[in-house]
Amino acid sequence: MADLDAALDAIAATGQPVWISVMDRVRAHDLLAAAQGRLEAGEDLPLFGIPFGVKDNIDVAGLETTAGCPEFAYRPETSAFVVEQLVAAGAIPVGKTNLDQFATGLNGTRTPYGIPTCAINDAHVSGGSSSGSAVAVALGQVPFALGTDTAGSGRVPAGFNNIVGLKPSRGLISTSGVVPACRTLDCVSILANTVDDALIVLRAAAIKDRADPYGRAGGDALAATVPARFRFGVLDEAVLARCTPEVAGAYRAAIGTLERQGGRAVEIDYGPLEAAAALLYSGPWVAERLAAIAPFAASQPEAIHPVVREIVLAGAGYSAVDAFEGQYRLAELTLKAKAMLEQIDVFVVPTAPEHPTVEEMIADPIACNSRLGLFTNFVNLMDMAAIAVPAGWSGAGLPLGVTLIGPALSDGLLAAMADRLHRADPYARLGAGEAALSRTRAVTEAPGTEGFVRLAVVGAHLEGEPLNAQLTGRGARLVETTKTAPGYSLYALPGSVPPRPGLSRDGGAGAIEIELWDVPLAAFGSFVAEIPAPLGIGTVETRDGSLVKGFICEHHALAHAEDITAFGGWRNYLSAGQATQITHATARNAQEHRP
């Protein structure tokens, strides 16, 4: 359990510009005591005692909601629906975080409460509009925080602060009690250090709100099954050239990682997505931003930040005809995007094309901000889900990130894929600190590891090889193709039928190709019983640091075996024509073989 007083102390020491207001310590402990009582009464509280931050356009009872504008402030008697769900799960809201005023911006500078800067380098913007929430998580003040995301406001600050930004499907988290930016598009987002943390929060928050006219039931949205083989959409080089070289380099590296994890990159036409993105600020949806605060904008326009005022008041220039024409255009573009999604499982894009300094943003606030939305603005318009994850570091020590995007209610798939990608980075660390990200996968993939044993397969049980039916016949499923950690050797065992290798962790130079399979626990014993000596089942470390069950070989059998480590894996060895080829009849006999 995260320490409540430690969080309150850290917040008090920081204050503005990260935080706008802080929960009274007595009130926070009252909430903790109430949660303790419910826990002792037998309630399941998955977030018991965990302090969290709340973007200050989301209501928390007892704290002012300012939306980044002091003159707009009001004190709600009840919390937003999402906050109530998290409190019901045992979490403690400890304060309200800074933001681009009225959630209009992707940079974090449009606020009268001081400018929160990047948690890693304060010369650069924090990203917005969920600026304070992202920085608070990156600094370790709270384990997670709520933001909102209409045009990228949860993803861009996550990318700029080396944390995870989960933008759920529209309506999956209620927006009741949230000051709207574009009410038909708004999403409450979750900022956390890991995908697993964000997903735990999403499971507690994604409760159907029957009073929210834009709410939707999640159904199987949080199921997390990653196909053994998947296709992901990538940008062409012309679009990628609009990014800084280091952003482009990190993006290409992420593509390589996904390919090693079983993915196939498919180049997409980014034109329809970018055209849709342009509609958000250069189309009639600007009028929806004005609709959200129309009475206030009419009575106190001088209270609105100058850049925000220029954007929002421009909404008055759009007619009802413009609104319908915009809807028609969006429908055409969405149809093209859906056709692309029929050919792939997810899109993968850089989170942002560049990371400007505060000075650069203030000098050119609209154009500079607009560039940050290149890969984010279309997502909610096209009713998609997305998650931003860290993807390395620039030469200047700034975090880089990528975003995975899928159709509505693909949240679980995106989370599982993003977690796998994040943990593949051997240098990943949490937020602005030095703590390393565990490379052991945390997100459980449906049907989950419960009731299954994850098994590393290295030879004749690989997909398409003679003994693979011993796995598939027991209901096992392929999870991914990967490699062992360094230090393993692979040997061709003489006289084995069908030909088999032996894997040994003997300090060799190899990282050997393996497949990971989930084998039903009920069938695992009978499978192991079929394995002939000198092979057996032990523990194998994968390249991402996970420890799984896997095929190993008794050491004595390797004395006269051929060292084939240099081939990098059994399939490469077979492809080189080094192993004895077996006939179909031999394969059938081998499948029926019992030791």
Active site residues: 55, 129, 153
Task: Retrieve residue 77's tokens.
Answer: 């008697």
DSSP 445: P
Comparing CA positions, the residue from 588, 474, 462, 592 lying closest to residue 527 is 474
Q: What is the rounded CA–CA span in Å between residue 99 and residue 115?
A: 9
Task: Retrieve residue 292's tokens.
Answer: 């959200």
Q: What is the rounded CA–CA span in Å between residue 72 and residue 277?
A: 29
Dihedral of CA atoms 414, 416, 422, 425 in degrees, nearest 10, equals -130
Residues 416-434 as b or e (16 or more Cβ within 10 Å = b): bbbbbbbbbbeebbbbbee
Q: What is the rounded CA–CA span in Å between residue 96 and residue 168?
A: 21
Q: What is the rounded CA–CA span in Å between residue 153 and residue 179?
A: 14
Counting beta carbons within 10 angstroms of the beta carbon of residue 296, is it exposed (0 to 12), middle (13 to 18) or buried (19 or more)? Answer: middle
Q: What is the rounded CA–CA span in Å between residue 103 and residue 204?
A: 24
Interaxial angle between packed helices 285-292 and 306-313, expressed in degrees from 0 to 180 and rounded to the nearest 10: 120
Are 189 and 385 in contact, with CB atoms under 8 Å apart?
A: no
Comparing CA positions, the residue from 263, 262, 268, 260 lying closest to residue 231 is 263
3-state SS class at 275: helix
Q: What is the rounded CA–CA span in Å between residue 362 and residue 353?
A: 18
Q: What is the rounded CA–CA span in Å between residue 184 and residue 172?
A: 13
Taken in order 253, 255, 261, 262, the sign of the CA dihedral is negative
Comparing CA positions, the residue from 322, 324, 330 lying closest to residue 383 is 330
Taken in order 211, 215, 217, 220, the sign of the CA dihedral is negative
The contacts of residue 286 (CB under 8 Å, 6+ apart) are 280, 311, 312, 314, 315, 318
Count of C-beta atoms within a 10 Å radius of residue 18: 27
Q: What is the rounded CA–CA span in Å between residue 454 and residue 587?
A: 25
Task: Retrieve residue 235's tokens.
Answer: 């940008």
